[in-house]
Amino acid sequence: MELSQLPLVLWNSIESYDNVYSKQKLETDQERPKAKVSIKPAQHVFRGDTVTLRCDIDGEGVTSWQYSWYKDDSSYSTSELQEHTFRSVTESDAGKYFCYGAERGGSRSSQDSDAVTLTVSDRPQAVLSVSPQKWLTEGDPVTLICEVYGSSTGWTFSWYNLTASSDNRYHFQRLSDNSRGAGGNYTVSSAALNHTGVYVCRAERGEPAYKTTFSNTQPVWVTALIVFSGVSPRVSLIISPSRTQHFPSVSLSLSCEDQRNSDRWNVKRYTDRWGLQDCSSSVWGSQTGSTCTISSTITSDTGVYWCQSESGENYHPVNITVHYGVVLESPVHPVTEGDTLTLRCLYQNSTPPNLSQSSLRI
């Protein structure tokens, strides 16, 4: 007999049974507590992070649960522990997780939790920027902004002053921490000459702490506020030949002149190609006393040079360029109102190297 030919009474019996079963199942599900999954420190984490999945079940009268974990709809683990921890998470741990619980020694069980997605990415990179600009005058405000791309929560930020020793090994002097969040700001409300330097940042989160790599470097240059009092600055960087633009393949001398002769000074530099370096390194220059000599300049010597004391104080940054063709000969240091200023264009292949000259009173 075909199903369509079943007696109407039998159809009504089947339909009535289905309705009763559905109603009982709904009532049973409503009575069963629903499990809930949470992830710490976040659903988007990075390789090497410590990650904890937690299954919470609010089951009245149940004192002990057996927790079952599922990943991507497949059984993953069963444990009496409420938490499942990855000590050093990898990309293979990424996926959708849910849990449910069964009463140990009893008959009750929970509903399945909603699934949560764990995403694992490469080790994060902190990114440092400077606002409003890198070249400042004494008294200007400046902010170092540290961010972690691809993640927005749970980070604590630290800033470091980067220094280089005579063997060009880097050392990190920690400045400060900031509040947690998507990014952190380290603000100096009134820049001083000694804030000249090269900075990096790093972020960390979790317990034990998981740290990002160090950020890109960001230099900050603070120049003296010109006060027409006739008082010379304590430390000056004396350049010979006395200009900021130079030709390749010539000798260049840089000397730190201390008005009080109280410290031995080293010449430091920061270039796009080589980063932070000390002149006493044999790689690019040689230092005698407080004088640094570059025997034969090359274009990659273009950068910012300044004086640093043995105690780490930084003074008088000067932007020096090395290039072919024509250079402008102008004063290295600021001039005073009313002085006569002479500007001269020099051509590398002329003898003497002189194109034109102009004088003006400012």
Dihedral sign computed on CA atoms, order 72, 77, 80, 84: negative
The yes-or-no answer to whether 25-121 and 126-223 have a common fold is: yes
Nearest to 164 by CA among 200, 110, 208, 112: 200
Asked if residue 7 has a cis previous peptide bond (ω within 30° of 0), the answer is no
Nearest to 254 by CA among 324, 305, 199: 305
pTM: 0.65
Q: Identify the architecture of domain 235-325 in CATH.
A: Sandwich (2.60)
CATH of 126-223, one of 3.40.50.150, 2.130.10.30, 2.60.40.10, 3.40.50.920: 2.60.40.10
Q: What percent of the chain clears pLDDT 70, i.e. is strictly above it? A: 79
Phi, psi of 303 (to 5 degrees): 170, -165
Q: What is the DSSP string of 65-132?
A: EEEEEEETTEEEEEESSSEEEESS--GGG-EEEEEEEEETTSS-BPBPPPPEEEEEESPPBEEEEEES
Domain map of the chain by residue range? 25-121, 126-223, 235-325
Exposed, middle or buried, 106 (CB in 10 Å: 0-12/13-18/19+)? middle
Show the low-confidence residues of the chain (pLDDT under 50).
Answer: 1-3, 6, 9-11, 14, 16-27, 179-182, 228-229, 361-362
**Which pLDDT value is given to residue 261?**
64
pLDDT (tens digit, 9 = 90+) per residue, 225-262? 765 445 556 788 999 999 999 999 999 999 998 876 65
The helix (H) or strand (E) run that includes residue 341 is strand 340-347
**Which pLDDT value is given to residue 248?**
94
Nearest to 160 by CA among 148, 170, 174: 174
**Which pLDDT value is given to residue 28?**
53
Residue showing tokens 């440092």: 128
Spatial contact of 308 and 302, defined as CB atoms under 8 Å apart: no
Q: Which CATH superfamily is domain 25-121 in?
A: Immunoglobulins (2.60.40.10)
Contact partners, residue 18, CB within 8 Å, separation at least 6: none
Could you give the C-alpha distances from 329 to 48, 63, 103, 247, in angstroms and in order?
Answer: 54, 85, 86, 11
Per-residue DSSP letter, 219: E
**Which pLDDT value is given to residue 166?**
65
Q: Return d(Cα 359, Cα 362) in angstroms, integer.
A: 10
**Which pLDDT value is given to residue 26?**
43
**Which pLDDT value is given to residue 27?**
39
